[in-house]
Amino acid sequence: MVLSNNGDALCAIFPVEFQEDYSSVIARVEALRSLGLPLVVVGLGTLWTIGTMHLLGFELTVVSIMVPPLVLTLGSAYSIHILNQYYREARVKDRGKAWIAHSVGHINQTILLAALTTIIGFSSLTSANLSQIKEFGLSTASASSTVRCCPCSSSPRS
């Protein structure tokens, strides 16, 4: 397949990554309705990240076309962690609804630390001499913070 520009490359890479990532998610979910959270997180995260890149004047380069697949991977991972904790605590009966907030609060700390290390790691790329690498670092750090906020704010609460 010959790609004429980076937009074509993004359109070619993203569906393949999406299919690969979500085939493993589908195999692990306990209820089909659980697919909603990862889909919303990845959709919003990708939209916000590409919008932010456009507002900042970043062009799609060979390096920056990898940002949306990273958003997909990070958003799915954070969402799966929340869903896993939710279903783990949902198995315990007779606790009222307070367990939902406790479950989300408990896993929220873990996701925050994972997101912070990712943000710091990608932010370190801003010290590179190449502008494309700097833009990639800023875009991916922004994407990590975006997809970190999405699952925690849209997760089930009591």
Buried/exposed code over 85-119 (b: 16+ C-beta within 10 A; e: otherwise): bbeebeeeeeeeeeebeebbeebbeebeebbeebb
pTM value surpassing 0.75 = no
Q: What is the pLDDT of residues 122-157, one digit of tens each?
A: 999 999 999 889 999 999 998 888 888 765 555 444
Q: What is the pLDDT of residues 81-93, one digit of tens each?
A: 888 887 787 777 6
In the chain, the domains with their CATH numbers are: 6-154 (1.20.1640.10)
